[in-house]
């Protein structure tokens, strides 16, 4: 562990009101693991007495502490970070006492280089010592110097830390951190270390605690979830964990991300198919359809094995939606290699694909490989792949026309929801669905006049966390629409504990009543705050 003071850090100054709690905001760059890490950062800050900045202040970065949780996977990760820091530099000059902290994968990688390039940064901390954030902020204020502390190995398992959950109806639960794979394009194992698995009892206790507080959906997180259990000697642990989640009363939806095709076994497919609350949805990273490129990537499977697993998944779950990750332009990729990727994509029939143009990441073996492809070649192939996947996604969506779906209403809305009188959510297979409300149903608004908070709640108006059963009337490649028509007017709202928890949180936030569904700890401005490690109830 290293601590590096920087002489050019901006000195802290007393706040205008020394008795007021300091405010914070956390900006997240990157994957679901980063999103969940940001929830831990927020939880620790709130436990230390900070309060989250108001929405308008967050949008304008008017907070006493701004934390940026970084990603190092993509080429533009550094430019995103320093773009953010550049915007904050002027704001910090105007706000004496403001502090800026940088954490996450890029912080783990670049270390003191961040302060050297942006000397107005106060704190830099890595992926292995999230728990140090509040202490480093106080130390930086006291010393009027930057604090850089990077641990070389995991100090505290993140799930034992206080957590400020962004959602009351759905939550992330980490089952492992780190990765034992050696993919040549990936820097994650270097930054997050070898895989460390939590005990099943700890995972299930956290899931049960979330459900007790109102959540009905949980996503199990890991860099390679289906290798879960290797550390404690049980290669069937992930399938057992899925089945155990099926026994938790009140848990209606279980998802997981991401599995590795090389370790994907039949017992996991069986557990998915036979556990009713495990959703018929799979994110299954392909990366390339060329066996030659897969070898160069050190992806220990080949295209036919990948497609064979999908055949088994669809044999057991015919309506399963499958998404993927694909890299275009890996060093040495030929036109023949790329055509193999197109062939596999056509055969796989993905619901959607996250497609990326290869970019060399310093510190990875692939960055030093010969035959790096010209940008124009990669771009042209990328466009062909996107066009193919757009067509397949449109065809896959079209097959949903007329189907009955159950939609978990989300807190975030579609861009046109207000004008089209719709709410937005996810079907069981994770497809995005825009649902038109019945004629005469109140229009959704924000603030104290929100009709979803009324004591006499209109039965036609679902809240975030409630479930709606409806029928698909229109499709697009990456979303579905359920409008009200005379021919198909199916619209059934099921109230849930999650909807109740959302309403209680919003009432407390707006000062309309006491919150009954906080995640432990003292609520800050009526918002759910902390979920620490629950009592372990299963061995």
* Degrees, nearest 5: CA angle 252-254-257: 160
- For residues 383 and 33, the model is more confident at 383
Least trusted range by pLDDT, from 5-9, 82-86, 270-274, 507-511 = 5-9
Position 360 scores a pLDDT of 87
- Strand, helix or coil at 507? helix
Tokens representing residue 317 in the block: 């779950």
Taking the alpha carbons at both ends of the chain, their separation in whole angstroms is 33
Burial class, 379, CB count within 10 angstroms (exposed 0-12 / middle 13-18 / buried 19+) = middle
Q: How many CB atoms lie within 10 A of CB 213?
A: 20
How far are the Cα atoms of 29, 165, 289, 462, 505 from residue 466, in angstroms, in the given order?
29, 18, 40, 6, 15
Position 30 scores a pLDDT of 77
Nearest to 361, CA basis, from 124, 188, 116: 188
The residues with which 432 forms a beta bridge, in sequence order, are 426
Is residue 534 predicted with pLDDT exceeding 60?
A: no
d(CA 41, CA 35): 10
Position 17 scores a pLDDT of 52
179 known ligand binder: yes
Confidence of residue 536 (pLDDT cuts 50, 70, 90): very low
Position 522 scores a pLDDT of 31
Tokens representing residue 186 in the block: 């990936």
Nearest to 137, CA basis, from 155, 126, 145: 145
Runs of H (alpha helix) within 53-187: 55-59, 77-94, 105-110, 113-117, 133-143
Position 115 scores a pLDDT of 95
Is the separation of the CB atoms in 196 and 178 below 8 Å?
Answer: yes
Least trusted range by pLDDT, from 31-35, 263-267, 367-371, 522-526 = 522-526
Is residue 269 predicted with pLDDT exceeding 70?
A: yes
Tokens representing residue 194 in the block: 């070898």
Mean pLDDT over each residue of the chain, to the nearest integer: 89
pTM of the entire predicted model: 0.84
- For residues 56 and 487, the model is more confident at 56
d(CA 254, CA 276): 9
183 known ligand binder: yes
d(CA 494, CA 463): 10
245 known ligand binder: no
186 known ligand binder: yes
d(CA 210, CA 430): 20
Is the separation of the CB atoms in 503 and 528 below 8 Å?
Answer: no
The rounded radius of gyration (Å) of the Cα atoms in the chain is 24
Is residue 375 predicted with pLDDT exceeding 90?
A: yes
Per-residue b or e along 154-189, where b marks 16 or more CB atoms closer than 10 Å to that residue's CB: beebbbebbbbbbbbbbbbbbbbbbbbbebbbbbbb
- Could you say which DSSP state residue 143 is in? H
Position 18 scores a pLDDT of 52
Q: How far is CA 366 from the centre of its chain?
A: 26
Burial class, 135, CB count within 10 angstroms (exposed 0-12 / middle 13-18 / buried 19+) = middle
Highest mean pLDDT among 10-14, 83-87, 314-318, 446-450: 314-318
Position 78 scores a pLDDT of 80
Confidence of residue 344 (pLDDT cuts 50, 70, 90): very high
pLDDT single digits (tens) 501-524:
999 999 988 888 654 433 333 333
Residue appearing with tokens 């100090």: 155
How far are the Cα atoms of 127, 418, 440, 461 from residue 422, in angstroms, in the given order?
40, 7, 12, 10
Q: How far is CA 151 from the centre of its chain?
A: 24
Beta-carbon contacts of residue 295 (< 8 Å; ≥ 6 apart): none
DSSP E strands in 288-351: the ranges are 321-328
Position 75 scores a pLDDT of 63
Position 243 scores a pLDDT of 98
* Degrees, nearest 5: CA angle 178-181-183: 115
pLDDT single digits (tens) 144-178:
999 999 988 777 777 778 888 889 999 999 999 88
């Amino acid at each position: 562990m290293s601590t590096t003071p920087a002489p050019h850090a901006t000195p802290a100054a007393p706040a205008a009101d020394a008795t007021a709690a300091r405010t914070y905001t956390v900006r997240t760059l990157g994957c679901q693991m980063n999103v969940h890490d940001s929830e831990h950062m927020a939880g620790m800050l709130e436990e230390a007495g900070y309060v989250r900045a108001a929405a308008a202040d967050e949008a304008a970065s008017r907070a006493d502490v701004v934390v940026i949780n970084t990603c190092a996977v993509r080429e533009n990760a550094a430019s995103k970070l320093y773009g953010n820091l550049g915007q904050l530099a002027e704001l910090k000059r105007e706000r004496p006492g403001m502090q800026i902290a940088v954490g996450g994968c890029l912080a783990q990688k670049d270390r003191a280089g961040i302060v050297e390039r942006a000397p107005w940064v106060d704190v830099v901390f890595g992926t292995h010592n999230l728990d140090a954030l509040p202490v480093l902020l106080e130390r930086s204020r006291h010393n009027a110097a930057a604090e850089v502390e990077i641990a070389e190995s995991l100090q505290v398992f993140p799930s034992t830390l206080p957590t400020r959950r962004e959602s009351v109806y759905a939550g992330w639960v980490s089952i492992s951190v780190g990765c034992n794979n050696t993919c040549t394009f990936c820097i994650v194992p270097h930054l997050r270390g070898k895989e460390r698995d939590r005990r099943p009892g700890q995972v299930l206790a956290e899931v049960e605690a979330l459900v007790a507080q109102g959540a009905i959906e949980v996503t199990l997180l890991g860099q390679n979830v289906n290798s879960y259990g290797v550390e404690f000697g049980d290669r069937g642990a992930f399938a057992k964990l899925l089945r155990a989640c099926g026994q938790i009363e009140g848990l209606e939806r279980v998802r997981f991300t991401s599995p590795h095709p090389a370790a994907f076994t039949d017992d996991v497919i069986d557990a998915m198919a036979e556990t009713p609350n495990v959703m018929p949805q799979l994110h299954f990273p392909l990366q390339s359809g060329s066996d030659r490129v897969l070898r160069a990537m050190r992806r220990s499977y080949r295209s036919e094995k990948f497609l064979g697993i999908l055949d088994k998944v669809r044999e057991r779950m015919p309506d399963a939606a499958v998404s993927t990750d694909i890299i275009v332009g890996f060093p040495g990729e030929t036109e023949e290699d790329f055509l193999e990727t197109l062939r596999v994509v056509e055969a796989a029939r993905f619901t959607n694909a996250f497609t990326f143009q290869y970019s060399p990441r310093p510190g990875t073996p692939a960055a030093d490989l010969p035959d790096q492809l010209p940008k124009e070649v990669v771009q042209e192939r990328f466009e062909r792949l996107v066009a193919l996947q757009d067509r397949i996604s449109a065809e896959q969506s079209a097959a949903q026309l007329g189907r009955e779906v159950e939609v978990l209403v989300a807190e975030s809305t579609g861009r046109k929801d207000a004008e089209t009188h719709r709410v937005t959510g996810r079907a069981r297979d994770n497809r995005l669905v825009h649902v038109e409300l019945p004629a005469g149903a109140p229009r959704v608004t924000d603030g104290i006049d929100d009709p979803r908070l009324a004591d006499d709640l209109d039965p036609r108006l679902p809240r975030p966390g409630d479930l709606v059963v409806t029928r698909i009337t229109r499709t697009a490649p990456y979303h579905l629409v359920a409008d009200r028509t005379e021919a198909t007017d199916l619209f059934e709202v099921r109230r849930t504990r999650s909807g109740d928890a959302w309403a209680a949180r919003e009432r407390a936030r707006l000062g309309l009543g006491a919150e009954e569904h906080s995640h432990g700890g003292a609520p800050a401005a009526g918002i759910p705050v902390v979920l620490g490690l629950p009592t372990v109830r299963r061995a």
